[in-house]
Amino acid sequence: MIQVNSKMRIGYSKSLPIMVVIPNDQLIAIKAMVVLKNGSRRISPHITSKEVFVAFGNKPFLTSYNGSFINTTFHTLQNIQNALNDAGVGDTMKAIVPLNVDVYNLYQSNHVPSVGWFRADISGPMSQIVNFLTNNNSLFTVNIYPFFSLHGNDDFPFNYAFFDGGNLIVDNGIQYANVLDANFDTLFSSLKAVGHGDMSIIIGKVD
Q: What is the pLDDT of residues 76-135, one digit of tens each?
A: 889 889 888 888 888 988 999 999 988 997 656 567 899 999 999 999 999 999 999 999
Whole-number Å distance between alpha carbons of 5 and 21: 10
Q: What are phi and psi of 56, to 5 degrees?
A: -115, 135
Transcribe 87-112 into DSSP letters: TT-TTTEEEE-EEEGGGBTTTSTT--
β partners of residue 140: 201
pTM score, two decimals?
Answer: 0.81
Angle at 79 between CA 188 and CA 92, to 5 degrees: 65
What pLDDT, on a 0 to 100 scale, did the predictor assign at position 134? 97
| CA–CA distance, 130 with 109 (Å, rounded to integer) | 26
- What secondary structure letter does DSSP report for 2? B
Residue 167, Ramachandran bin (φ over 0: left; ψ between -120 and 50: alpha; else beta): left
CATH, domain 18-147+180-206, list 3.40.50.460, 3.40.50.300, 3.30.450.20, 3.20.20.80: 3.20.20.80
- Tens digit of pLDDT at every position of the chain (207 positions): 444 444 444 444 556 677 777 777 666 544 445 555 555 555 555 455 567 888 887 899 998 899 988 988 898 889 889 888 888 888 988 999 999 988 997 656 567 899 999 999 999 999 999 999 999 999 999 998 887 766 666 777 778 877 777 678 899 999 998 888 988 999 999 999 999 999 999 998 887
Q: Is 9 exposed, middle or buried (0-12, 13-18, 19+ CB in 10 A)?
A: exposed
